[in-house]
Amino acid sequence: MKVDWKGIYPAITTKFTDDDKLDLPAFEKNITVQLEAGINGVILGGTLGEASSLSEEEKSELVKATVEMVDGKIPVILNIAEQTTKGAIEQAKLAKENGASGLMMLPPMRYKATDKETVTYFKEIARSTDLPIMIYNNPVDYKIMVSLDMFEELAEEANIKAVKDSTREVTTVTKMINRFGDRFKILGGIDTLALEYMMMGAVGWVGGLVCAFPRETVAIYKLVQAKRYEEAIEIYRWFMPLLELDLSPQLVQNIKLAELKTGLGTENVRAPRLPLSGRERERVLKIIQEGLDNRPELPDYLNL
């Protein structure tokens, strides 16, 4: 399926049963609501997806099941976060075999690769597959910055199509557009800066809290596209305390708790993660409840 790299792409959480197996019925319930809300694609195996704790068999099962669930309505993207080039190439191959429409790719994991090593890594994987690729640029969490000069080299690979920008520097959007025009589709990757990214020219949002609040997330995007900025800002201001739950080492637990409260998931996480407890759980619950109590009425955003 063609990937347009525009719109709302949830970095979807992986659902687990009480005995730590993949919970595909709970996952499908969430995906169904996401589709009804109007998302444009779904990303599996990101940080929120607890990819580092998934086995290869579970990743394959998750991709196959999601492709079946969405039934051609939206593209399914698999995140690749590997320590070796060989391992990443193998993941890209399996992703295609299992039905994925595209890839999101992080730089090499654990090893802080040089600029040359990082570019070579991306290029070799790109040349091993015909799947379209979105580079995930997150130097804050993953310690490697994909610079403009590096993107200049990556532009030589036709199937590197997009970038999820999590640099926390909104000016990056302007710098990318000034240098490359529309060569790369830019999607904001930080929930608390998503509107700012889109106002400056990003064409999409890879979201976290969308997992629990899909309609509000898509509504903001649609309103921006329709140039109804004041309405988008009003929803975004309501959303901000919830979006801040994404900026935490416990973002998975935070967002899964939000999914529980909105009826779109459970708190089950995979060890060594543990569900929130004590005062921290109370604090996060208070934020979620206040959001639910003041949930805004949305316009007919799907028909804008």
Tens digit of pLDDT for each residue in 36-62?
999 999 999 999 999 999 999 999 999
Cα 158 from Cα 166, distance rounded (Å): 22
Do 291 and 238 touch, CB atoms closer than 8 A? Answer: yes
**Residue type at 152 in one-letter notation:** E
- Contact criterion met (CB below 8 Å) for 138 and 106: yes
Residue 33's pLDDT is: 98
Phi-psi region of 193 (alpha: psi -120 to 50; beta: other; left: phi over 0): alpha
pLDDT tens-digit readout, 60-106:
999 999 999 999 999 999 999 999 999 999 999 999 999 999 999 99
Q: In degrees rounded to 5, what are phi and psi of residue 245?
A: -65, -15
Q: Residue 110: what pLDDT?
A: 86
Hey, what CATH topology would domain 7-303 get?
A: TIM Barrel (3.20.20)
Tell me the C-alpha distance between 116 and 238, whole Å.
43
- Chain segment 132-185, per-residue pLDDT in tens: 999 999 999 889 999 999 999 999 999 999 999 999 999 999 999 999 999 999
Torsion 47-143-273-20 (CA) sign: positive
pTM of the model: 0.97
Q: What mean pLDDT value characterizes the chain?
A: 97
pLDDT of residue 216: 98
Q: For position 213, what pLDDT does the model report?
A: 98
Average pLDDT over residues 224-240: 98
Report whether 189 contacts 165 (CB < 8 A). yes
199 band by pLDDT with thresholds 50, 70 and 90:
very high
The pLDDT score that the predictor gives to residue 183 is 98
Domain definitions of the chain by residue range: 7-303
